[in-house]
Amino acid sequence: MTDTAVTDSERLRAAASSVLLGNWAGGSTVPSRTLYPHQWSWDSAFIAIGLRHLSPRRARRELETLFSAQWLSDGRVPHIVFNDSVPADAYFPGPDFWQVGVPGEAGLTGTSGIVQPPVHALAAWEVHRTDPEGSFGLGFLRRLYPRLVQWHDYLRVHRDLGGHGLASIVHPWESGWDNSPCWDAPLARITPADPTTYVRRDLAHSDAADRPTDLDYGRYVRLCTDYREADYDDTRIEHAFAVEDPCFNALLAVSEHALADIAEAVGADPAPHRERAGQLTSALIDRLYDPESGIFRCRDLRANGSDSALIDELSASGLIPLVIPGLPDDIVRTLLSTASGDRFGLGRVHLLPSYDLLSPAFDPARYWRGPSWFNIAWLFHRGLRQYGAEADAKQLREGLLDAAGRSGFAEYVDPHTGEGRGIRSFSWTAATTLDLIGDRG
């Protein structure tokens, strides 16, 4: 490596570190100081993976703060943990909307009532591996393991709405891919909330052309309101939006593998976790893999009344199962071919677009309707390396590091131009950058 390359890498590392340190809020890291001033669930998992390179202690704290707000009633990990130092009206929907308290936890005003993708066991295992002596000495895994088990049990028991072994999301926000075209048809059945009953705070910080439309936002609010009125009890509500998402379930499978490693480390039986990971993988293939389109697709459990159907949209969510160990060889080959084909353009566009480049619904700037996201590229890079696609992995890594630095650690980028979009100094962009700086693949 040349002196110049070392200098560039060190400069990028210092800049990424500055973002994470600047977004640290005392017990956790905010995604951004403007649009997202609280703690978000899957953001914190990616953030912990990056933070471990700066401070394993702080990375452990990131995850433990999140799990301190876990619901004791059913084990769910809420998608937002609110900070009482932030004004209640700084973000909508805020704590007053959700009406969920966190008794006995100083610094927390409450949580949301929905969830996000379960990346947490994977993050916990990676954080532990960075500093096993410190982790064991402080009992990090021993404290977190039962909480992770409860979290996975909630998804396995309460969210298997289709009855075939996959967890369902009940709101687009739960997918993490908030505004994907995959949700257009399921959302079209939802009557939006009255727009006079709430104020969108996101438009004060972002270009409206990048954000969900007012119509879709009204539908999001309606789904949240209906869930709240049912006391967030999955047995008391017939969820109007119920979808099996490949990314969500792939991350659950990967986290079950990680949970098996954690179980071994704390002296518990890893076998049930490996069995569940295998069951999830089989269910994913049986329920969501579409060999004709060469990708995993979302399944709408409320399509045609009560009969489920695969959603006729191609999202990069359907490529993320590449992170699962032990996929059949033919599926691996097909996913790699689909990713490098014209619909996703891996290696010819910036990072990995979130949605089908050839679809009329593709939008290179609007939230999750086409832009390339750094956490998604990080996940796909992990899958590429796992299955020996080293050249593609190296190119994706270099593209991510370049885009992160040039964009000022943007929330996401235009896949055609590489232009940064959304918020700058975004935490998971900095975190994935830190993690890949040391990875030469």
Q: 3-class secondary structure for 189-222?
A: CCCCCCHHHCCCCHHHCCCHHHCCCHHHHHHHHH
- 3-class DSSP state of 438: coil
Contact between residue 120 and residue 148 where contact means Cβ atoms under 8 Å apart: yes
Q: Extract the tokens encoding 65.
A: 């703060």
Judging by beta carbons within 10 Å of its beta carbon (0-12, 13-18, 19+), is residue 171 exposed, middle or buried?
A: buried
Query: How many degrees, rounded to 5, is the angle at CA 401 between CA 397 and CA 402?
Result: 115
Contact between residue 39 and residue 65 where contact means Cβ atoms under 8 Å apart: yes
Contact between residue 361 and residue 181 where contact means Cβ atoms under 8 Å apart: yes
Q: 3-class secondary structure for 5-38?
A: HHHHHHHHHHHHHHHHHHCECCCCECCCCCCCCC
Contact between residue 273 and residue 282 where contact means Cβ atoms under 8 Å apart: no
Contact between residue 378 and residue 46 where contact means Cβ atoms under 8 Å apart: yes
Beta bridge partners of 353: 372
Residue-by-residue DSSP string for 317-355? GGGGGGGSTT--HHHHHHHHHHHHSTTT-TTTSSS-BSB
Greatest CA span in the chain, whole angstroms?
63
Contact between residue 289 and residue 331 where contact means Cβ atoms under 8 Å apart: yes
Q: Extract the tokens encoding 331.
A: 């599926």
Annotated catalytic sites, by residue? 178, 411
Helical H segments across 29-114, by residue range: 41-51, 56-67, 95-98
CA–CA gap between residue 383 and residue 369 (Å, rounded): 22
As a dihedral over the C-alpha atoms of residue 306, residue 311, residue 312, residue 314, rounded to 10 degrees, the angle is 180
Name the amino acid, one letter, at 54: L
